[in-house]
Amino acid sequence: MPDAIVFEKEMGIDHGDFFRLLARAVEGRPHQIDGATIRILDAAGTIEITLSETTERRIALLSLPVTRVRFAYSGFTPEQAQAVMSRIDLHFQRGGG
């Protein structure tokens, strides 16, 4: 994607959980899923999300899923891309304590 604004994240999530949470994260925007790639249409442009294979991080006896996720925003200003990314991040936050 030429001239795309790209965010790359390492997320503690597997593909099943990512797709389950995605429905709320896209906030009603039309989207297509093609394997590990998701394309979301927005008034400002297109968001392409690419998921890596899920690996695991082990901490003592605990095993956590880890997926690298690439978000590429085409047609967005940096401010628009950051605003949408912040809203998407909120949908994928997990509680803790």
- pLDDT, one tens digit per residue, over 75-91 is 999 999 999 999 999 98
Give the CA distances from residue 61 to residues 55, 57, 58, in Å, rounded to whole numbers and listed in that order.
Answer: 16, 10, 7
Residue 95's pLDDT is 63
Tell me the H-state helices in the chain. Answer: 15-25, 78-92
Q: What is the mean pLDDT of residues 47-56?
A: 97
Residue 3 scores a pLDDT above 90: no
Sorted by where each begins, the domain ranges of the chain are 12-68
Quote the pTM value.
Answer: 0.89
Confidence band of 93 (pLDDT split at 50, 70, 90) = confident
Instruction: With beta carbons less than 8 A apart as the criterion, state whether 36 and 51 touch.
Output: yes
Could you give the percent of the chain with pLDDT greater than 70? 95
Name the DSSP letter for residue 96.
-
- Start-to-end Cα distance in the chain: 39
